[in-house]
Structure 1
Amino acid sequence: MAELYATVEESARLLDVACHRDTVWPILSTYEDAFSHPAAVVAFRVATALRHAGELDCRFRTHPDVRDPYAVALSHGLTPKTDHPVGTLLADIHDRCFVESHGIDFGVVGGFKKIYGAFTPDDLQEASKLADIPSMPRSLAENVGFFARHGLDDRVGVLGIDYANRTVNVYFNEVPAESFAPDTILSTLREIGMATPSEQMLKLGEKAFGLYVTLGWDSPKIERICYAAATTDLTKLPVPVEPEIEKFVRSVPYGGDDRKFVYGVALTPRGEYYKLESHYKWKPNAVNFI
């Protein structure tokens, strides 16, 4: 764990991001078993959006035996207890679905942020059924028709709960190939009120393997949609890499012989921004999400 902390600290320094031991070390020590597990997956991520400036995110997968990593976070003081429905959502998901593994997301500045629940590839969930979970944002139910029209309703592979921003990410697996065609992307974005995409976004979208949407409790609308492409060589992507991300690639270390990236573009009603996840430790067939 000391080695991983040193890696996080050095990576943040190279990116001119403040890294405080009092923020990072408690998270690493709380989930120490996850990092030492043979199937451990650890990744670093940066984004070009203003709200992400000055931050380096770290993501890791927990051991499947950790049934409720949110309860663990609460008991160790990593996040405050809340009466908001976001605080009961993970438990409610477990009551209705088999969750194969979890992921934890934290920032070296912002601390504990998110928990992801991943379903098995042969047991993808239906958005229409997940919408019946009492603590789920009602915006999921409001958009079930949209998911069905695009062949996504029965393809939910991961749910990401953002405790800091009180939102939920819904990740879709085995997305129909036509969803990534430029004309389809354009019509999809118009349908849900997102900004007109750039040509760069459309080129990256054609190479995407999956997409996710962000939903909240305060609005029935989809807040954000993200398309993500995976590669072991960024030069093979059909788009230039953003300057902030290029600096990130030069600065963040990785373990093993191969390097893996997940490059995503997120669309909001106000515009688009880019995110890059670089895997420090990864295993073949590991769940991809950004």
Structure 2
Amino acid sequence: MATSPFDRSRFVTELSTLCESLDAPYSKQKIEQILNAFDEHLDNSYVWFRCTSKPKDVVNFRLAFHGKFVDTISIETKAGWIDAENPLAITNRSWSSKENAEEWCDFDPSRGIAKNWVYFQRLQPVKEVLSVPGLPPTAASRVPDLQAVGLDDQVNFAAVDYSNKSINVYFLLPGNLTSERVAKYVGLAGSKPVPEEDVRIMSRHMNPMFTFGVTMIPETGHIPRVAFYATVDDAASFGPLQGHDRLIKFYKEAPCLDKKKLEIPCWSYGANDSNQYMKGEASYAGYNEDFSREMFERWIA
């Protein structure tokens, strides 16, 4: 958790500077509106930045509330950003009603709320996650396809994406990736197999466990993209990011107030070129290594 009061003025300045450097859209007024809505929780939040390799794409920021439940949907509806009867909001409430679940948020600094996240303290069965109120039956219809590639009782996070009208389901999986495993995973999104060398690089940074994300359009059950997440020590010098100049710049310039900066690069795959890219996440404030270790230990207990 944050060890000092959240400096709103500094955050607005640093985020605005980062967006300008990366040619990303932002509005200081919108950022202030978001901070006003969550004011009472800022001192105890874990703040991240997120960027993709796509030119001019948004630089999101995340507010995570470790160790406590914050009713983010109520805050967002009170602010007028979402309708409480929005099926995605209902889905998020269904997920967060599970024991000790937490709600987190991703924000677009030019438009407002982008995603609601749910962190599950205990790994969840994908069948249950895709069968909650708010989701049409077409979402649950993909469960056999997910189970067929080994994705079943390992859901550690889920998210609703208001910007893209999609959902994300994340799985905590064992490392030691093989080309065969990766081909099955990316095949869910209609992507071509990943080159052997890329699989070897990914596997080196995804042991003993890693998170794998599946994006789905609930109304159709279509899976447009999947993603692999790794944790590295120096993302700006990370080999797979070479050639992705925007992400390298992001990692070099993203400010961090934590003693240790957490950096997470991600590989995204899909059938369309728009879903073939890399993205990166970096901690800004409130990162607690002990809490993250405890979170992982809960999942594998």
Post-superposition CA distance 1:160-213 (Å, at most 9, x none) = 11112111110112x0335x2223212332354224435674344322321010
Residue 249 of structure 2 corresponds to which residue in structure 1?
Answer: 247
Paired position in structure 2 for 1:93: 95
Q: Which residue of the partner structure matches residue 13 of structure 1?
A: 20
The alignment yields a C-alpha RMSD, in angstroms, of 2.4
**1:79-135 per-position Cα deviation (integer Å, ceiling 9, x unaligned):** 13275411311222244x124322210122232111101011xx2111112232121
1:50-129 maps to which residues of 2 (within 5 A)? 53-62=56-65, 65-77=68-80, 79-81=81-83, 83-95=85-97, 97-120=98-121, 123-129=122-128
Residue in structure 2 matching 1:3, options 10, 14, 17 = 10
Q: SS in structure 1 opposite 2:114?
A: strand
**Same amino acid, percent of matched pairs:** 19
Unaligned runs of 5+ in 1: none
Give the letter aligned to residue 10 of structure 2. E
Q: Report if aligned partners of 2:168, 2:214 keep a CA contact under 8 Å in 1.
A: yes
List aligned pairs for 1:90-169, cutoff 5 A: 90-95=92-97, 97-120=98-121, 123-169=122-168
* Conservation of the 8 A alpha-carbon contact between 1:185 and 1:202: yes
The aligned counterpart of 2:262 is 260
Q: Does 1:205 align with 2:202?
A: yes
Task: State the Cα distance separating 1:259 from its structure 2 match.
Answer: 1.9
The residue that corresponds to 1:229 in the other structure is 230
Q: CA deviation at 1:27?
A: 0.6
TM-score (norm 2): 0.83
Task: In structure 2, give the amino acid aligned to 1:60.
Answer: L
Q: Distance in 2 between matches of 1:104 and 1:14?
A: 24
- TM-score, normalised on structure 1? 0.86
SS in structure 1 at match of 2:116: strand
Contact residue 200 and residue 239 of structure 1 kept, 8 A: no
Report if the CA contact (8 A) 1:182-1:205 is conserved: no
- CA shift in 2, pair 1:65/1:235, >3 Å: closer
CA contact (8 A) 2:139 2:220 kept: no
Partners of 1:62 and 1:104 within 8 A in 2: no
After superposition, the Cα gap between the structure-2 partners of 1:253 and 1:176, relative to the gap in structure 1 and judged at 3 Å, is same
Q: What residue ranges of structure 2 are gaps of 5+ in the alignment? A: 1-7, 297-301
1:26 has 2:33 as partner: yes
Is it true that 1:275 corresponds to 2:242 in the alignment?
Answer: no
Deviations 1:34-53 (A, max 9, x none): 3201xx31111111236xx3
- The Cα of 1:154 is off from its aligned counterpart by 0.8
CA contact (8 A) 1:59 1:103 kept: yes
8 Å Cα contact 1:186-1:197 kept in structure 2: yes
Q: Displacement, 1:31?
A: 1.1
Q: 1:153 to 1:257 in 2, by over 3 A?
A: same
User: When the two structures are aligned, how many residues end up with a matched partner?
Assistant: 278
Does the Cα contact within 8 Å between 1:34 and 1:61 map onto a contact in 2? Answer: no
| Structure-2 separation of matches of 1:57 and 1:200 | 30
Distance between the aligned counterparts of 1:200 and 1:55, measured in 2? Answer: 30
Deviation at 1:10, TM superposition (A): 2.0
| Contact 2:264–2:280 (CA under 8 A) maintained in structure 1 | yes
- Mean Cα deviation higher: 128-137 or 67-76: 128-137
